[in-house]
A and B are shown apart, each in its own frame.
Chain A
Amino acid sequence: MSLLIADGIGKSFGGLRALAGVSFAVDEGEIVGLMGANGAGKTTLFSIIAGHQRASEGAIRFKGASISGLRPDQVCRLGIARTFQIVRPFAGLSARDNVETALLFGGAQQSASAKVSDRAMEILEEVGLVDQWQKPAGAMTLSGRKRLEVARALGTAPELLLLDEVMAGLTPAEVAEMLETLRSVKRGYNLTIVIIEHVVRALVELSDRIIVLHHGELIAEGAPADIAKDKSVRAVYFGEEDA
């Protein structure tokens, strides 16, 4: 069964058409890669799914029910978590408090305080931040804050995880680590993932399927190997990348 369905999503910002007629489905347990050049509309699509922005047209369905028009906190409690491309940690709080906040309010809605701390530490362990649990999030490196985005998203106990460029700006070694982390949490939490990434190799390696956006339209969809060979994709995407 499809966990998430986007049905004809369109979005305009004034005269600018950021998305037009974008339709796709994500099955339970899949990892779907979302590709596209700068400004293609990838982040906007995430914002619409997570409730931060309203679609101008179309509807989003999650587990069969429409979630269009819900607030972000409602979408979160239904089981969709997103990370931010431009990280938004609770900068003044420790890494552990960041994750605890997600545990207290997300889909998990944990209440017993001792258990929340333990659970937060487990999650930090999984993303490789456990030795920095006391550090204020604002004092972490970019790599640390990207990991914290993932940890906080996991804290809300999601079924669907939307990852927006969690590997951008990381060194190749850090990218490799992040890939490992994502694979293991995917297994451990039985997650479905949609991931935006400019690091094409990482995306091809990780995804079961790839969707390509170009100027707000979905121009290709398929297995990673096929996408890499697709002529239109090469022209509009890899062409730009190489130039």
Chain B
Amino acid sequence: MKEITRNWPFLGCLLVLAGAGIATPHLFGAYWTLVALNLAMWIALTQSWTLFSGMTGYISLGHVVFYGIGAYVVVATFKTVPLWISVPMGGVVAALFALIVALPVLRVRGPYFVILTFGVAELVKFIILNIETGLGKSSRLLFGAPGAQTLLYVMICLAIAASGLTLFAKVSRFGRGLTAIREDETAAETVGIPVARYKVIAFAASAAIPGMVGGLMALRSTYFEVLQVFNPIVSFTIVTMAIIGGSGDARGPLFGAAFMVGLSELLWANAPRLYMILLGLFLVGFVVFAPSGLVGLLARRGRETSA
């Protein structure tokens, strides 16, 4: 508890963001509601990614698979299962999927793990694509989905939940175990950490909220296309945000998501090419010059000015 309260600047920042998000539909209208939804979504996704990849050092390049599975669950049960059940169910199915693939996938480390997660996501994408084609549904329309404001409010809850989970993981004994695994897996098991179990639990935990996020976003776009909800760009964007923010703890994703959503707002509509170029430059720049991300840069500034 003491560690949680010690993070009051983070918690305060989170509350302010949430408040701003809740006020947006009333104050700024439809366009900014969608921007806020977007921001909340990326915060939720990047926090979840950090919970596993940031803490254990196993870089997942396939997190879109959980998002896609959640979306598919909601779409496939649309109008038969109420949304307040199907959206959480999307999270549960995503987490179960993570549990099932965790044991084989988490046997490999480093670049092999990165490639493998990417491959698993692509594999699931094509399996579901085949199922849908077999069912004769190349895309589905969703009529009567909730409006953007409702989705935004639920998404804000998910963003807060994901941030809370990552913060809790960081300060808990569980998080200590994950950090030790990142530093040296062999040494970690030598001091008594049940390495395999910890990795599997963290992996499943980091899949649950993306599953629910995917379900919500399927409702947002009102039509469902497999290639779109399993788009690997989602995975890449999550990793980019985590790196730019600084992936060590729960603060990074807030900065990373805000930075990139802001950049995309400024440039995407008018200068999409410039946006992509800048994105690449920032990614390379941060990896090479500031591997601890915006959080690291700000912390260093803080130390320099106070010194």
Contact = CB atoms under 8 A, between A and B. Distances in A.
Given A72-B189, A155-B191, A105 B177 contact: yes
A50 interface: yes
Nearest to A152: B191
Contact of A76 (B3, B179, B184, B192): B192
B193 interface: yes
A102 B222 CA distance: 51
Contacts of B107: none
Contact of A90 (B3, B173, B183, B192): B183
B133 interface: no
B34 interface: no
Nearest to B1: A113
Interface in A61-77: 71-73, 76-77
B192 A77 contact: yes
A84 interface: yes
Nearest to B187: A88
| Max chain A Cβ within 10 angstroms of own Cβ: one of B3, B183, B192, B195 | B192
Interface in B188-220: 188-195
Interface residues of A, number: 30
A95 to B, nearest CB: 13
Interface in A27-80: 50, 52, 71-73, 76-77
Interface in A91-105: 91-93, 97, 100-102, 104-105
A107 interface: yes
Contact of A88 (B2, B176, B179, B186): B186
| Max chain B Cβ within 10 angstroms of own Cβ: one of A91, A102, A155 | A102
Nearest to B194: A73
The 6 A-B pairs with the shortest beta carbon distances in the complex, nearest first, are A90-B183, A105-B192, A76-B192, A88-B187, A102-B191, A106-B192
10 contacts: A72-B189, A89-B183, A90-B188, A92-B182, A92-B183, A93-B180, A101-B176, A104-B173, A105-B192, A156-B192
Given A92-B182, A100-B176, 17 more contacts: A50-B190, A73-B191, A73-B193, A73-B195, A76-B189, A76-B191, A84-B187, A88-B186, A89-B184, A90-B179, A90-B180, A93-B179, A101-B191, A105-B176, A107-B192, A113-B3, A155-B191
